Amino acid sequence: MKKIFGKPESLKPAPHLYCPGCGHGIIHRLVAEVIDELGVREKTVAVAPVGCAVFAYDYFNFDVTEAPHGRPPAAATGIKRVLPDRVVFTYQGDGDLAAIGTAETVHAANRGENITIIFVNNANYGMTGGQMAPTTIIGQKTATTPFGRDPKRDGYPLHMCELLSSLEGVAYLERVAVYNPKNVINAKRAIKKAFQNQISGKGFSLVEVVSQCPVDWGMTPHDAIRWVEEVLVKNYPLGVYKDK
Amino acid sequence: MTKTLMKGNIALCEGAIAAGCQAYFGYPITPQNEVPAHMSKRMVELGRVFLQAESELAAVNMVLGASTTGARAMTSSSSPGISLKQEGISYLVGCELPALIVNVQRGGPGLGNIAGSQADYFQATKGGGHGDYRMIVLAPYSVQEMYDFAYQAFDLAEKYRNPVMILADGVVGQMMEPMDLGTQKTESRGQTKKDWVLDGCKNREPRCVRSLLMGDGDLEAHNWDLKKKYDAITKAEVRCETQGLDDAEIILVAFGISARVAKAAMRQARQAGIKVGVIRPITLWPFPEQIIADAARAGRKFLVTEMNLGQMVEDVRLAVNGKCPVEFYGRPGGGLVDQEEMLKKIKEIR
């Protein structure tokens, strides 16, 4: 019997311990498939964030290090500058990339660091129990916005693709989602492009993946998927924000 | 032996370059600005990595990334910037990554001033960042030692897979004096083969460098392993200079630039017939506690002198363990200790 579907080599056989309905499992798989297809598993070094995806090294079957909260773009810069022929990427959540690590993100982007960033935006802090993230939308209830995000108190959601699109050093920005098969396929195309850009030396590429976090949102996996489609992507429009 | 007139901060750069430092990441702050400026030219000329980071936080985490590849990497700063680097230092220790961190100390707390100071002794030797850890701390007191210690720091860091700090001060960093570039082997060493580096898993199993250990008992086991390393360092790496201890009735204890003044005060005191000796800890951690304990004999008095309100004096008191009186003379806020004041204090406590 011919095997036509299996785990990518870039994923370890370990079972995922992410919550039921979480988007990380899909996004990990897409990254792993892309790395396999590009044939770069043995020259890849990934930087895990602080947040749910800190456990990325338990799942990815290539070299992985972890950086302090928000610092993956700096750590990745250090790796890539020393080993420019390796494929270096960071995998970061919204708190990591857009709150505590905003400076590292903006400056790595503006330097045009030839790295790839997979940015998972699920509109809250997943690991710590669903607090307000910089990407939490107006009115969204979280563990620290029990009355809903109020811009007068909490400020406004940060739109990272829009913000980074003005920077000269950035090669590629695209926002995708993983709430249905059509979008999953499109997300994989974008992730592949972000890695191809690095391999061909085009410079800083970031893919923002709008993802679901049912447990911290207090929803069923099905409702969470529907909320992404009906609410979240209306606030975070999908599409290409820069393609140099 | 040809002597070269050089500034402390430049000598530090040249020592690191001679040791094969492959990557420097820094951020401007006085009084260490000569370091990034000199490195921006020299490292680029040598085809090595120089990058001016957006912050001290980013710089130390760039060092962390570069170090995971096995490259010899360093950063430098001064006191307020070193506070920001504590996050990265704690992670470097937790991940067991070698690196050189240089602190050309200035006055604090807060933004303080830009004069030389020794107020970061506690921060450097007692942890500084979070968690239960130690770091080898070298205290140069001359331009020559800025060069020598920068050269030696990478070997020490790699031997123990632990960051090493050079705790200099604004005076040592800024002063110029003749030094010898031939004291260390001058060829670039590059990286030795290491079995933990992340450079792509070609022909081997994937590796992971991390400090998060969530499994039951894993972190405690890791910390006990680190403790074994600290014990080995304590046994093997203590460095200390002593002068005139045999007949001393008063022993001055000082590190860094203060020890230069202490040595001068010792000579002056001996001319006046007062038997003074000097103990100069070169490694502030591991601390030369045995040398001090052995010197703590009945009838002697200790005078600790530092450019702070009294920090190393606590470690001296622990080592002396009540066997002799331990006095203190210090100046906080970026003031150089004064030879005449030291002599006055010697006469006062005699």
The pLDDT tens digits of the residues spanning A138-188 come to: 999 999 999 999 999 999 999 999 999 999 999 999 999 999 999 999 999
Domains of chain B (ranges; CATH) run 3-236 (3.40.50.970), 240-349 (3.40.50.920)
CA distance B185 to B114: 34
Measured in angstroms, the CA of A110 and the nearest CA of chain B are apart by 11
Contacts of B69 (CB under 8 A, 6+ apart): A45, A78, A79, A82, A83, B197, B198, B199
Closest CA of chain B from A187, distance in Å: 25
pLDDT per residue, tens digit, chain B (350 aa), is 689 999 999 999 999 999 999 999 999 999 999 999 999 999 999 999 999 999 999 999 999 999 999 999 999 999 999 999 999 999 999 999 999 999 999 999 999 999 999 999 999 999 999 999 999 999 999 999 999 999 999 999 999 999 999 999 999 999 999 999 988 875 556 556 689 999 999 999 999 999 999 999 999 999 999 999 999 999 999 999 999 999 999 999 999 999 999 999 999 999 999 999 999 999 999 999 999 999 999 999 999 999 999 999 999 999 999 999 999 999 999 889 999 999 999 999 98
Residue listed under structure tokens 């400020």: A155
Q: Tell me the pLDDT of chain A averaged across its residues.
A: 97
Q: Taking the complete model, does pTM exceed 0.90, yes or no?
A: yes
Q: Choose among A63, A74, A78: nearest Cβ to B23.
A: A78
Residue B179 CA to chain centroid, in angstroms?
Answer: 19
Structure tokens at A230: 């009906």
Please tell me which of the candidates B57, B73, B207 has its beta carbon nearest to residue A63: B207
Number of C-beta neighbours around residue A192 at 10 A? 18
Say if residues A145 and A136 touch (Cβ distance below 8 Å). yes
d(CA B136, CA B119): 17
> In this complex, do A68 and B95 lie within 8 Å of one another by their Cβ atoms?
no
Neighbour-count burial of B85, counting CB atoms closer than 10 A to its CB (0-12 exposed, 13-18 middle, 19+ buried): buried
Residues in Cβ contact with B19 at an 8 Å cutoff, skipping those fewer than 6 apart: B72, B150, B151, B152, B153, B154, B155, B184, B188, B189
> What DSSP designation does B116 have?
B
Contact between A73 and A26 (Cβ < 8 Å): no
Residue A69: which CATH number? 3.40.50.970
Candidate from B69, B73, B201 with C-beta closest to A62: B201
CB contact under 8 A, B210 and A65: yes
Q: Which helix (H) or strand (E) holds B313?
A: helix B312-320
Residue A157 confidence (pLDDT): 98
Q: Is residue A7 part of a domain?
A: no
Count of structural domains, chain A: 1
Query: Does residue A62 belong to any structural domain of this protein?
Result: yes
- Check A42 against B53: CB less than 8 A apart: no
Helix or strand run (H / E) with residue B49: strand B49-52
Chain A residue whose CA is closest to B197: A63
Contacts of A61 (CB under 8 A, 6+ apart): A9, A10, A11, A12, A32, A41, B201, B206
**A58 occurs within a structural domain:** yes
* Segments forming the whole domain that contains residue A32: 24-243
Query: Mutation test of the interface with chain A: which of B68, B89, B197, choosing the one with the most A Cβ atoms within 10 A?
Result: B68
Quick check: B168 and B146 in contact, CB under 8 A? Answer: yes
Q: Which residues pair with A205 in a beta bridge?
A: A116, A172
The neighbouring-strand residues paired with B277 are B251
Residue A8 belongs to some domain of the structure: no
pLDDT in the model for residue B186: 57
Whole-number Å distance between alpha carbons of B184 and B191: 17
Query: For residues B197 and B67, what is the distance between their CA atoms, to the nearest angstrom?
Result: 8
Q: Looking at the domain assignment, is residue A171 inside a domain?
A: yes
Residue A11 lies inside a defined structural domain of this protein: no
Task: Write the Ramachandran bin of B128: left for phi over 0, alpha for psi from -120 to 50, otherwise beta.
Answer: left
